[in-house]
A and B are shown apart, each in its own frame.
Chain A
Amino acid sequence: MKSMMIVLALGVLLTGCANNLSRHKIHPDLVGQISEKKVALNLNLPSKHIVLKETQYRVLWLNYQQDKVSYEAVWDSDKDFEEAYQEGFLRMGVLADPKVDSASYKKAFTKLYPSLPMRERFCQVPNSCGPKLDSYSKVYQTPEFDEFAADLISGGYEYLIDVTIPEFIANDLNLGVKVIGSYPTINIIKLDSKDLISQKVATITHRISAKNDLEKIHEDGMAFFKEAVFSGISGSFREKAVWYGEEYWAY
């Protein structure tokens, strides 16, 4: 048996996941602290998959059916995600530079990713909530990260914003409600000391039109999926939630 958490509010019911973020709040001065500094941005996309999920209500229980598909075959997504997060941080007043050579670190992260313990306790779809927050310390102790950090420091960078986007969930609740979302973790690291000064789960959640068929998610260059994802990322920066770890739903 596994425990699950459902909030009666619609939002969490749609996403099927809740996060305890209060202990990860950061000091409001952090924005000011890093906005004047040279900041690098790195995105990790260790599993470029979408979990397609269909829920059918049966009064006393719910039937789920799910399949996991790869979007990598049709979408070279890294640059698009980098631009979306760069824009989001720019709106916060932080110029985060994604043009850094992180290939070796990304490769090491992707290799290490399957062995990291996953946040499954409140996660409706196994593995889709990403790694447990404290497991990132293991990632930041790898030689590849040391090398990456040293390169950044020699390039004049003082902080690294390290974003990890796990699998996406596309959920059809069969009541005309369809939601696309994910649970990216945003870690901010002070490079000279390698201190993790902030850690957030900045949820991406966006409700899509009921007429969009998840079975046809590949059509038109994945247009409705991309629109939902980037609206969700934009929403994750709203109200500075990305800094304070507040949950929100961008419908």
Chain B
Amino acid sequence: MSSFDQTKRIEEFNYRIGETYKDDVISALGLPDTYLKSQEKELLGYQGKVDGRDYFIPLPVHIAPIGGDMMLVTYINLAGLTSEEVSKLREVDVIFKFDQYEILEDVIDNRGSK
């Protein structure tokens, strides 16, 4: 499991509506995956699982000197996720909603609906 995976931290995080501050959430869970702010509210969205797991199997196809002792090696990747696939993997598990004083106002938990 990646160190970037927040699933367990989200599960174990004890928050209290009206008492928990934005800083408490960030201290416990780290930076959010998504963030929205208006005059009245702030929304911090946490995804839990990482965006993507990828692997790179290099097949060298071209080598060229680029000056000094450096060589440019062009590879074809025999594996990998496209940007479209990565973006499809992005879904938010939990949204923390804060008021203008950065106090927790509401929590939208999407984990059960997945």
Contacts and interface: CB of A to CB of B under 8 A. Distances in A.
Interface of A: 1-9, 18, 48, 50, 52, 54, 60-74, 118, 120, 126-127, 213-219
A52 B71 CA distance: 28
Nearest to B35: A70
Q: What is the size category of the interface that chain B forms with chain A?
A: 35 or more
Contact of A9 (B35, B70, B82): B70
Nearest to A53: B4
B51 A66 contact: yes
B26 A73 contact: yes
B44 A215 contact: no
B53 A65 contact: yes
Nearest to A54: B2
B54 A73 contact: no
Interface string B89-102: 01000000000000
Interface string B19-50: 00010001100111111010000101001001
Contact of B55 (A4, A63, A69): A63
Interface of B: 2-5, 22, 26-27, 30-35, 37, 42, 44, 47, 50-58, 66, 69-80, 82-83, 86-87, 90
Contacts of A4: 56, 58, 75-77, 80
B71 A8 contact: yes
Contacts of A66: 4, 50-52, 54, 86
A91 B97 CA distance: 43
Given A64-B56, A73-B44, 14 more contacts: A4-B76, A18-B72, A48-B35, A61-B56, A61-B79, A64-B53, A65-B54, A66-B86, A69-B31, A69-B32, A70-B31, A72-B35, A120-B83, A218-B27
Contacts, number: 124
A65 B33 CA distance: 15
A202 to B, nearest CB: 19
Contacts of A216: 30
A3 B76 contact: yes
Contacts of B47: 67
Q: Which of A8, A9, A69, A118 has the most CB of B within 10 A?
A: A69
Contacts of A63: 53-55
B73 A6 contact: yes
A3 B77 contact: yes
Contacts of A70: 31-35
B50 A65 contact: yes
A18 B34 CA distance: 28
